[in-house]
Amino acid sequence: MAAPDLTAEQAEPEVVDLLLPEVARFMARDVDGAAIDREGLIPPAVREAAGRLGLFGMTIPGAYGGAGLSLGAASRVVAEMARVDRSVAIMVGLHCGLGTRGLVELGNPALKSRWLPRLASGATIASFAATEANAGSDLMAIRTTGRATEHGLRIEGEKSYVTNGGFAGLFTVLARTPGLGGARAHSLVCIPADTPGIVLGREEDKLGIRGSSTVTVTFDGAVVPLDHVLGTPGKGLEHAYEILTWGRTLMSAGCVGTARGALDAARAHVAARRQFGRAVGEFGATRAHVAWMAARTHAMQAMVSSVAELHAAGSSIEIESAMAKVFCSDGAFEVCDRSLQLHGALGFLEETGVARMLRDCRITRIFEGANDVLLVRVGAGVLGGKGTFDVRCVPELSDVAERLEGAERTLRHEARAMAERLGVEAIRHQVALQRLARALIALRAAAAVLERASGESLPTARYTAELLLEEARSWLDRLWWADRDEAAAREMTDRMAAP
Ligand SMILES: Cc1cc2nc3c(=O)[nH]c(=O)nc-3n(C[C@H](O)[C@H](O)[C@H](O)COP(=O)(O)OP(=O)(O)OC[C@H]3O[C@@H](n4cnc5c(N)ncnc54)[C@H](O)[C@@H]3O)c2cc1C
């Protein structure tokens, strides 16, 4: 069947409704997740088929041959892919998010005309290279440097863990550029992979997403014209954080897909598997697992939709995309873990595919900002009054909404008290900040669920929001003991002998 024409002048929801069944067929027909995992490779034929379907051009503007889909629409497509295979979803999601977003938003017209059509067709695949061996969470510590010379910008340095790096045709690289925008300045630079002086390392051997390409890329005097700097020279870090909002949202969408896959597998298994004379799914404890998994998946989807809607309305999604990333990556891992548990021994075997889902989604709690670090940042934002939200919902759920608003008032009160008590020192109280952040994230997810509830989804929304409210309250309760817990942990680790 022919792929839908992504460049046609159609309303976006119609295009996505046409595309999703095609994506599902592509994933079922062309993608063998178990083989990709076993062989540690996405076959080039899969990449080509994804290109023919227009997946690499999803978020590239129509003027350059893409479909110009919004963040929300692209999220739906990435979720559908991730339901089946995370390596393929990450290859496409990384290309559409971190890989091409810088060029789309910040590239000059000549650079865009040259590269975007090829990136849209999938003839060229994009990578984003920020991390280095000694600079992961702390991107200020990067050492890769671009120096302006008479021939252009000369790049020296080494980037680690570059997704899609093994076959990418274009890298967006974060480099220090002391001559551009100040002595301590950083810039984002577009570097074609065939530039002399680029050396690729071997593919990393990984726990999960084993088919996704991850390599070290060395820039040994690679020279590009000065106009390959994206956006404002010297503003590279700000630009990178902006681009990361897309990456984190698409990654969160992938987590929704993974959770759906794991939930579907668990439901099918507990319905079929019989122990003690009845289906395992009939036991109360099993029902509690399945209900939790369904509620969490529902909330993750609501959270992603909410971030995408904020973005479509022109609001900043810096804090919301970080919250969604933490919520969805932790959620997907726990849904997979519970699914594996419900499968019993079979879940531990590779043949059910659940073990692979668990392994594949583990990295999402680390990359594009380790969750521990993001939680501290979100918590610090709460101290500064960030992350506020309204709760709007149908009258049938107004009682839950009222309790949610009450919990948010408590959270804001606690944050103000903490800021007043500790002043600037508050940002060093990481355990408290993380608990504030966890509480806010649970409340934000509950609000996203309530906002979208109508008709048949009302009971699911109520159940999900009640669970999240309970979760938020428990984090707020634990806020009382955060400093005591952090001090005890410091004492404990100080007593431990050096490794
Ligand atoms: C498969 C894979 C693909 C990747 N793809 C890309 C890519 O395409 N492009 C790219 O640029 N990078 C990529 N990365 C790198 C990834 O983004 C980084 O690994 C991530 O940002 C974390 O950095 P790190 O590994 O150096 O961890 P570190 O910074 O060393 O942190 C390790 C741990 O220490 C703790 N920690 C660190 N700092 C703090 C703090 N301030 N407060 C509290 N706790 C803290 C956290 O628990 C954290 O998880 C990829 C990594 C992997 C494994």
> Is 83 in the same domain as 164?
no
Q: Is the pLDDT of residue 89 over 70?
A: yes
In a domain, 85, yes or no: yes
Q: How many domains does the chain have?
A: 3
What is the CATH classification number for the domain harbouring 18? 1.10.540.10
Q: Which residue, among 137, 142, 152, 147, has the nearest Cα to 192 in the 3D structure?
A: 152
CB within 8 Å of 315: residues ≥ 6 apart: none
- Smallest CA separation from ligand 1 atom 7, residue: 162
What is the CATH classification number for the domain harbouring 415? 1.20.140.10
> Cβ < 6 Å from ligand 1: which residues?
128-131, 136-137, 161-163, 206, 214, 363, 366-370, 372-373, 376, 430
In a domain, 493, yes or no: no
> Is 198 in the same domain as 141?
yes
Q: Which helix (H) or strand (E) holds 219?
A: strand 214-224
Q: Residue 484 has what pLDDT?
A: 96
Mutate to test the pocket of ligand 1, among 94, 131, 167 (most ligand atoms within 8 A of CB): 131
Distance 380 CA to ligand 1 centre (A): 19
What is the CATH classification number for the domain harbouring 155? 2.40.110.10
Q: In the listed set 124, 141, 169, which residue is the last one of a domain according to the structure?
A: 124
In a domain, 23, yes or no: yes
> Is 364 in the same domain as 320?
yes
> Is 95 in the same domain as 211?
no
- Which atom of ligand 1 approaches the CA of 174 most closely? 11
At 170, the amino acid letter reads: L
> Is 422 in the same domain as 273?
yes
Q: Residue 498 has what pLDDT?
A: 80
Q: Is the pLDDT of residue 5 over 50?
A: no
Q: Is the pLDDT of residue 182 over 90?
A: no
For residues 436-462, average pLDDT:
97
Higher pLDDT, 7 or 150: 150
Residues 211, 43: Cα–Cα separation, whole Å = 9
| Cα radius of gyration rounded to whole Å, the chain | 23
Q: Residue 12 has what pLDDT?
A: 86
Alpha helix locations (H) across 184-317?
236-272, 284-312
Task: Label each residue of 286-349 as H, E or C.
Answer: HHHHHHHHHHHHHHHHHHHHHHHHHHHCCCCCHHHHHHHHHHHHHHHHHHHHHHHHHHCHHHHC
- Smallest CA separation from ligand 1 atom 46, residue: 372
> Is 208 in the same domain as 249?
no
Residues 350, 360: Cα–Cα separation, whole Å = 12
Mutate to test the pocket of ligand 1, among 137, 140, 186, 431 (most ligand atoms within 8 A of CB): 137
> Is 367 in the same domain as 331?
yes
Q: Residue 499 has what pLDDT?
A: 81
- Which atom of ligand 1 approaches the CA of 371 most closely? 49
Q: Is the pLDDT of residue 187 over 70?
A: yes
How many angstroms separate the Cα of 92 from the Cα of each of 37, 51, 67, 141?
17, 9, 14, 29
For residues 192-214, average pLDDT:
98
The per-residue pLDDT for range 300-334, each reduced to its tens digit, is 999 999 999 999 999 999 999 999 999 999 999 99
* Residues above pLDDT 70, as percent of the chain: 98
Q: Which residue, among 183, 178, 134, has the nearest Cα to 159 in the 3D structure?
A: 134
> Is 101 in the same domain as 137?
no
> Is 218 in the same domain as 314?
no
Q: Residue 472 has what pLDDT?
A: 98
For residues 247-252, average pLDDT:
98
- Smallest CA separation from ligand 1 atom 13, residue: 161
Q: For residue 305, what are the domain limits?
A: 239-485
- Which atom of ligand 1 approaches the CA of 370 most closely? 49
Q: Is the pLDDT of residue 468 over 60?
A: yes
> Is 215 in the same domain as 301?
no
For residues 28-51, average pLDDT:
97
Q: Residue 46 has what pLDDT?
A: 98
Q: Is the pLDDT of residue 280 over 70?
A: yes
Q: Is the pLDDT of residue 7 over 60?
A: no
Residues 213, 201: Cα–Cα separation, whole Å = 11
Distance 296 CA to ligand 1 centre (A): 25
Token reading at 464: 């999900």
For residues 130-147, average pLDDT:
97
In whole angstroms, what separates CA 412 from the centre of its chain?
27
Q: Is the pLDDT of residue 288 over 90?
A: yes
- Smallest CA separation from ligand 1 atom 39, residue: 373
Whether residue 54 contacts residue 123, with contact meaning beta carbons closer than 8 Å, is answered with no
Mutate to test the pocket of ligand 1, among 367, 368, 375 (most ligand atoms within 8 A of CB): 367
In a domain, 7, yes or no: no
Distance 372 CA to ligand 1 centre (A): 10
- Smallest CA separation from ligand 1 atom 40, residue: 373
* Residues above pLDDT 90, as percent of the chain: 93
Residues 301, 472: Cα–Cα separation, whole Å = 18
In a domain, 5, yes or no: no
Mutate to test the pocket of ligand 1, among 373, 378, 490 (most ligand atoms within 8 A of CB): 373
> Is 204 in the same domain as 254?
no
Q: Residue 8 has what pLDDT?
A: 46
Q: In the listed set 200, 217, 234, which residue is the last one of a domain according to the structure?
A: 234
In a domain, 186, yes or no: yes
In whole angstroms, what separates CA 78 from the centre of its chain?
11
Please list the residues that pair with 200 across neighbouring strands: 217
- Smallest CA separation from ligand 1 atom 49, residue: 370
Distance 367 CA to ligand 1 centre (A): 5
In a domain, 445, yes or no: yes
- Which atom of ligand 1 approaches the CA of 138 most closely? 29
Q: Residue 423 has what pLDDT?
A: 93
| Angle at alpha carbon of residue 340, lines to 339 and 345, rounded to 5° | 140
Q: Residue 10 has what pLDDT?
A: 60
* Least confidently predicted of 43-52, 93-102, 381-390: 381-390
Q: In the listed set 234, 255, 276, which residue is the last one of a domain according to the structure?
A: 234
Q: How many CB atoms lie within 10 A of CB 104?
A: 21
Distance 331 CA to ligand 1 centre (A): 19
- Which atom of ligand 1 approaches the CA of 368 most closely? 17
pTM of the model as a whole = 0.96
- Which atom of ligand 1 approaches the CA of 165 most closely? 8
Residues 60, 68: Cα–Cα separation, whole Å = 5
The per-residue pLDDT for range 221-244, each reduced to its tens digit, is 999 999 999 999 999 999 999 999
Distance 131 CA to ligand 1 centre (A): 8
> Is 314 in the same domain as 456?
yes
In a domain, 227, yes or no: yes
